[in-house]
């Protein structure tokens, strides 16, 4: 829901930084993998009891996630680069909730629900993208992407804000996760409904 507005604000500085990195020999795939590594470091820090400090690598990871596309636009986009980006994103989105379960066993049920909602929402997102590609449907509402990014109630910006809240208030993991997970399921349902109207 907020991605379009966020992109308008962050894309210009990201593109400038992306061009600077590309000029120094950085590749988009290197930045993607760096972003995943930082995200996994954040997850490990959370699991070992330092969720507040984990905000540093977590936010750096999301900066890298935005930068990889900027570097690609400054050099060249590849299908594998887009594939690697989404695969690393999903790994990051799984690692953070899992780390809170490691932090506190009492988070297990809420964490399982949250991960299941991510799985269902991610499936609706990727399935929509496949059908959009098949039909030749494109959009740049969320910026220039390697695959079709359908909008929704919850998108990347909302998920980052949610993860920041979890790090700031780890004791509230369960109630926050139940609410966010339910909203993920609403997002998936709305996307499936939209697909039923567009692809039939």
- Look at the block and give the residue holding tokens 């909008």: 151
Angle CA 33–3–165, to nearest 5: 75
What is the rounded CA–CA span in Å between residue 126 and residue 142? 15
User: CA 138 → CA 7, 13, 64, 134, 149, distances in Å?
Assistant: 17, 25, 25, 10, 9
Give the per-residue pLDDT at 67: 93
CA distance 71 to 27: 7
144 contacts: CB under 8 Å, gap ≥ 6: 69, 73, 77
d(CA 58, CA 105): 22
- As a whole-number percent, the residues of the chain with pLDDT over 90 amount to 64
pLDDT digits (tens, 9 = 90+) for 116-146: 999 999 999 888 888 888 887 766 555 555 5
**Per-residue confidence (pLDDT) for residue 142, from 0 to 100:** 53
Q: What is the mean pLDDT of residues 18-44?
A: 95
Q: How many residues does the chain have?
A: 200
Residue partners of 28: CB distance under 8 A and separation at least 6: 68, 69, 71, 72, 75, 77, 78, 81, 85
User: What was the pLDDT predicted at 135?
Assistant: 80
Give the number of C-alpha atoms closer than 13 A to the C-alpha of residue 97, restricted to the C-beta side: 25
Q: How far apart are CA 142 and CA 41, in angstroms?
A: 27
End-to-end CA distance of the chain: 25
- Is 145 exposed, middle or buried, given 0-12, 13-18 or 19+ CB atoms closer than 10 A? middle
What is the reported pLDDT for 129?
84
Classify each residue of 78-110 as buried b or exposed e, where b means 16 or more C-beta atoms within 10 Å of its C-beta.
eeebbebbbebbeebbbbbbbbbbbbeeebeeb
Instruction: Indicate the range of 43-47, 65-69, 182-186, 196-200 predicted with least confidence.
Output: 196-200
Residue ranges per structural domain of the chain: 3-198
pLDDT tens digits, 96-120: 999 999 999 999 999 999 999 999 9
CATH topology of domain 3-198: 1.20.120
């Amino acid at each position: 829901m907020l991605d379009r507005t966020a992109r308008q604000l962050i894309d210009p500085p990201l593109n400038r930084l992306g061009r600077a990195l590309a000029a120094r020999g950085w590749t988009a795939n290197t930045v993607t993998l760096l972003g995943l590594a930082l995200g996994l470091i954040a997850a490990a820090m959370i699991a070992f009891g330092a969720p507040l400090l984990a905000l540093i690598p977590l936010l750096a990871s999301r900066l890298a996630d935005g930068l990889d596309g900027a570097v690609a636009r400054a050099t060249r986009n590849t299908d594998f680069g887009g594939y690697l980006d989404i695969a690393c994103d999903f790994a990051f989105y799984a690692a953070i909730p899992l780390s809170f379960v490691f932090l506190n066993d009492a988070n297990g049920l809420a964490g399982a629900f949250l991960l299941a909602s991510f799985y269902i929402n991610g499936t609706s997102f990727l399935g929509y993208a496949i059908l959009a590609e098949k039909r030749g449907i494109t959009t740049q509402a969320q910026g220039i992407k390697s695959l079709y990014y359908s909008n929704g109630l919850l998108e990347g910006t909302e998920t980052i804000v949610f993860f920041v809240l979890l790090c700031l208030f780890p004791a509230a993991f369960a109630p926050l996760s139940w609410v966010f997970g339910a909203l993920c399921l609403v997002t998936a349902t709305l996307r499936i409904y939209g697909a039923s109207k567009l692809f039939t």
